[in-house]
Amino acid sequence: MHKPSQLLSTLLAALTVGWLPATLHAGDGYYTGEPVYELRPKPESHKDMGHIGPTGILAFVDVGVVVKIEGARKGSPAEGKVEAGEVILGVNGQPLKGLNPFVVLGKAITKAEAGDGKLVFDLQTKSGARQATIAIPVMGAYGSNWPLDCPKSAKIVDLAATFYSKHVSESDDMAIPIALPCLFLLSTGDDAHLPVIRKHLQKFIDQPNSIGDNTWNNGYNGILLAEYYLRTGDKDVLPLVQAICDDARKRQNFDSAWKHWGSDINPSYVAGGLMNPASTQVLTSLLLAKECGVNVDEKTLTNALRYFWRFVGHGGVPYGDHRAEGGIGSNGKDAMIAAAMQVAMGARGDTSIYASARDYQSLATLDSYPGMIMGHADNGRGDGIWRGVASSYLFEKKHERFREVMDNTTWWYDLSRYDDGAMGLASCHKFNDAGSGAAAAMIYTSPRKALRILGAARSKHAKDFELPVRLWGNDTDLAFHSIEPAADYGKHGAEMPTERIMRLIGTAYSGGEVAENPDCISLDQLQRLVRQHGYKARCQAAKALRIKGEIKMLEALLQDPDPRLRRAALDGINDWNYYFGPGKETLAAESFTPQMIESISAMVSNPKESTYVAEGALFAISLMPVEAVGKRIDAIMPWTRHSDWWLREASFTALQSLERDPALYTNVVPTLTKLMVEEGHTMPRRRMNEALADSLKKFGSKSAIGQELAKGFDAAVSETELIEGPRSREGKYNITHAIAMATKVAPETTPQLAELLADRGLELLDDKELMQIMHGGRGLAGMLEVHDKLEGDAREQLATVLFEKYRPELTKRLKAGKGDDTKMIDALLGVIQFRDSDAGWKILGIPSQTQRVWHYLSFEPTAEKDILAKREGKRHRKVTLPAGTGDWYMPDYNAGSWQSGPAPIGKGGHPRAPKNLKHASPWGDGEILLARTTFELDAVDYDLYRLRTVCTQGFDVYLNGEKIQSYAAWADPGENREWPMAPRDAALLRKGTNTIAIYTTLVYPSSQKPKWKDEVFGHVNCYIEGLRKEDLY
């Protein structure tokens, strides 16, 4: 072992309380350098790290950016060299303090592999300090033109191919975790791997029904199958490719894309349930399938092409059918579209619109390096899979930019590599696996161009196909695909890295320093950025110009010959917030100059103007002085009939702005309500519903305008189109949302809306939709809640409608089902109670629920297998119980020595807990809680029973010694949930004494909730209710 380094000695001198250096627990001021990557751990939060490259060390980042070792991979260089619980302070003389540990450790690996392969880790243990030397294989340095002509890259490919060939051979998986390794093996160009891939694909061939309706799997498997066919000409796989194409045709939603899986639509989830990170691969599969010669439905393909192509040059590709996003990255979706466009370039004829789209998306991927491996639910998996693939497209065309970004991110690729040759996705804790990482390894094989998605030459097995030469907008819109800056870019300011640009002028989710300090960036620098090739930089720069009061400059940009700059000026005026449309800090009406009004008005009247510019102009018109808007109604009207909802919503917004002048507004209200009723897409329809509801609230339902608006909401119920089949849910969502918005602002309209819905046919609604009408949800009131708020005649009218028209439908559905749907039961009871207030569920037993004495024990797990890191959110699990408590839930168990008191039993606070949430008894010091109580029954004579729980974490509930309910996830703090009891469980109830017991855990502050004031939170109660059918029917 080496002698302790100066770094280690310095850190040891700083030891304070406990055994961790106090300096490592700094808050926001922890980092010393300028932030570059968003994946940098936050000092106040936990962050998973996973493996540290080929060392095999397993670690995570604790609060204070403390890198703790959790163990070592078996057989890795680190095995036996490090111990769980040790803290990494530095490596090879470089301290981690104040720096991004991912970058420091990754760079150390890169340097060691180019040298002697030794990594000397400075470690802090409970007993002191030490160093551990771990030797990793020497790989050599990256070549100056890597991955081209690079021996290290070749070695990495060989090691990975050896691993993945064995990995694929030994796996029965038929989903993404094996599709990606097979694609990597194909990308090597080595025919020796073809038998392994063919063996895997044989599983699909032997099970032709294995191609189901999972968009994620179909997308990636479709790419694999098509690429394999184009490589080999093996026709056995073509029926599988055809099956994927047929599924895509059947399940395409909104004539656009696909949801996670299945055909049902979830309109309240990312605009109809569309899931672009999965759908993009289906589009790529369809394009490759065309080249394979299988039958691809032209409408399905063209719809998807148009849908995704229209995002290019307008911001990041979003998760669903929204407007484009405005974050630094897109979780790989920009790169995914680049790959689809790369394949589209293989069509015959003019494919220039696809080539320009590919290049733009590729450059957007390179530019987004600060947001690499960041994402929503998958923690950046999509970015890790596709970043290298898409970046490779500009290896020649933008070689300098490619070199700059790739050379600065070698640390991530080396940190992602495993000791056995596999690749992971460093910092992506949910998907840092060999299956996902296989795609990241394709950056090393990209120069071989062995896949069509990597630029392979046309296959001899390929068939000719053609694609549309125009998909969206007009010729002027193609300017947004340019990867070159606008004119005069070089005359202003200086080059600035992406992370600094976004730190100064912000993104959709951060206002940047300029919002608080307009002088943080010069006007000359903004003049440069507003001319940048990237849309988001232009948009943010224009918004900064507005913040700085540079109205004349925005006025000049509106007249620029480059449509990109005209749109930038509009974005500044609109305070454009991408996904959300105009922001909250828009240009004031009185700040519009006559020249601005003239320029913007010309944009919506000029047929040669870019469609995307026209959209921004329509939103800007809505901000003008109201009399100026009134003079432009005729110019706005044609856009209300546009085929794309972006333009329809923008024109609606322009007309809706006339609300400021009741006389002008009166004339357009019929048009606005007609637009609302006819709008089928849930995204704009929702906003139209909300806008008109706000107007209804403003003018009141008794005013002339209010009466016209109320008629519009009546029409929304009676006339909204319901497409047959699964897509009927779109229309039904539009109806139910319109009702919810109208009743929220004008409860007195509810009886009429309720009757219109019943007259149209309650049978049109599925159970979930009907329950939303009755109970509400997502912050919107249901009819039962509205009834309780109404007074006088309106209250009685609604009660009559619900009792006479809704009660029979609810009764019919309950009788047709199992009769235990608690939401349906509660809806029916709510209606029945209008006439019989005594009907309803009754809490079983004496003493009353609030008077029962619980006996409970809290304890900390001690067995190593039972200890779960506090950063883990899902905590329900089986643990070894304290001695003598094995039968703690049995009726005859003596818990007299435990703590006792009434429920709820609890501890701590939670930021989402109701303000009136109180604990009746203290939880105790342990994480795990065992609690039990008894109640007496004179008889067991109810027809239906249900368990009610208040429990933030997962739980197990026992009744008289038998488990009757388990739940493994979590709930909102204080949420009272109902669980129907099956007849078998209800039969456990008995006359006399009954014992109910619950096992659950505390919840700890997670990385997503760093602002918790309390260290832990727990809140538990449970009881049983009974209901007699005579109360229902």
Q: What is the pLDDT of residue 1012?
A: 52
Contacts of 599 (CB under 8 A, 6+ apart): 555, 558, 559
Residue 639: inside a domain: no
Domain co-membership, 815 together with 867: no
What percentage of the chain carries pLDDT values higher than 90?
85
**Average pLDDT over every residue of 805-821:** 88
Q: What is the pLDDT of residue 272?
A: 67
408, 410, 415, 416 alpha-carbon torsion, rounded to 10°: 120
Domain co-membership, 362 together with 389: yes
Domain co-membership, 80 together with 196: no
27: domain CATH number is 2.30.42.10
Domain co-membership, 290 together with 402: yes
Domain co-membership, 90 together with 115: yes
Domain co-membership, 236 together with 93: no
pLDDT at 530 over 70: yes
Q: Count CB neighbours of 430 within 10 A.
A: 14
**Average pLDDT over every residue of 995-1019:** 76
Q: How far is CA 970 from the centre of its chain?
A: 19
Higher pLDDT, 975 or 732: 732
Residue 830: inside a domain: yes
Q: What is the pLDDT of residue 375?
A: 85
Helix 381-391 to helix 333-344 angle, to the nearest 10 degrees?
A: 40
Q: What is the pLDDT of residue 11?
A: 37
Residue 675: inside a domain: no
Higher pLDDT, 523 or 27: 523
Read off the pLDDT band of 379 (50, 70, 90): confident
**How would you classify the pairing of strands 921-922 and 905-908?**
parallel
- Report the distance separating Cα 189 and Cα 235, nearest Å: 20
Looking at the chain, the number of H-run helices and the number of E-run strands are 38, 21
pLDDT at 372 over 60: yes
What percentage of the chain carries pLDDT values higher than 70?
96
Long-range Cβ contacts of 637-643 (<8 Å, 24+ apart):
637/671, 639/604, 639/614, 640/671, 640/675
**Average pLDDT over every residue of 570-575:** 98
Q: What is the pLDDT of residue 15?
A: 32
> Is 427 in contact with 380 (CB distance < 8 Å)?
yes
Query: Phi and psi dihedrals of 38, rounded to 5?
Result: -65, -20
The answer to whether the bond into 21 is cis (omega within 30° of 0) is: no
Higher pLDDT, 13 or 821: 821
Domain co-membership, 260 together with 274: yes
Cα→Cα distances 512→34, 100, 507, 640, Å: 14, 21, 7, 35
- Report the distance separating Cα 954 and Cα 971, nearest Å: 8
Domain co-membership, 110 together with 169: no
352: domain CATH number is 1.50.10.10
Cα→Cα distances 491→130, 494, 524, Å: 55, 9, 9
pLDDT at 423 over 60: yes
pLDDT at 222 over 90: yes
User: In a 10 Å sphere around its CB, with 0-12 CB exposed, 13-18 middle and 19+ buried, how is residue 208 labelled?
Assistant: exposed
889: domain CATH number is 2.60.120
pLDDT at 731 over 60: yes
pLDDT at 1026 over 70: yes
- Report the distance separating Cα 59 and Cα 181, nearest Å: 25
Cα→Cα distances 802→217, 748, 780, 796, Å: 45, 15, 18, 10
The alpha helices in 89-214, defined as continuous H runs, are: 101-114, 151-169, 176-187, 194-206
Domain co-membership, 200 together with 69: no
**How would you classify the pairing of strands 928-937 and 962-970?**
unpaired
pLDDT at 19 over 80: no
Per-residue pLDDT tens for 292-303? 999 999 999 999
Domain co-membership, 261 together with 116: no
Q: What is the pLDDT of residue 271?
A: 65
pLDDT at 665 over 70: yes
Residue 951: inside a domain: yes
* Average pLDDT over all residues of the chain: 93
Q: Which amino acid is at 519?
A: D
Residue 763: inside a domain: no
Long-range Cβ contacts of 403-409 (<8 Å, 24+ apart):
403/145, 405/366, 405/369, 406/146, 406/443, 407/142, 407/146, 408/369, 409/369, 409/372
Residue 466: inside a domain: no
Residue 110: inside a domain: yes
Pick from 839, 862, 878: which residue ends a domain?
839
- Report the distance separating Cα 527 and Cα 543, nearest Å: 12
Domain co-membership, 125 together with 239: no
Q: What is the pLDDT of residue 777?
A: 82
Pick from 78, 100, 135: which residue ends a domain?
135
Domain residues for the domain of 346 are 151-408+441-454
DSSP 8-state code for residue 463: -
Q: How far is CA 723 from the centre of its chain?
A: 28
The answer to whether the bond into 277 is cis (omega within 30° of 0) is: no
Three-state secondary-structure class, residue 848: coil
> Is 690 in contact with 682 (CB distance < 8 Å)?
no
> Is 384 in contact with 436 (CB distance < 8 Å)?
yes
| Total-model pTM | 0.90
Q: What is the pLDDT of residue 1006?
A: 59
pLDDT at 491 over 50: yes
- Report the distance separating Cα 611 and Cα 617, nearest Å: 10
Domain co-membership, 821 together with 856: no
The count of domains in the chain is 4
Residue 746: inside a domain: no
Per-residue pLDDT tens for 110-139? 999 999 999 999 999 989 999 999 999 999
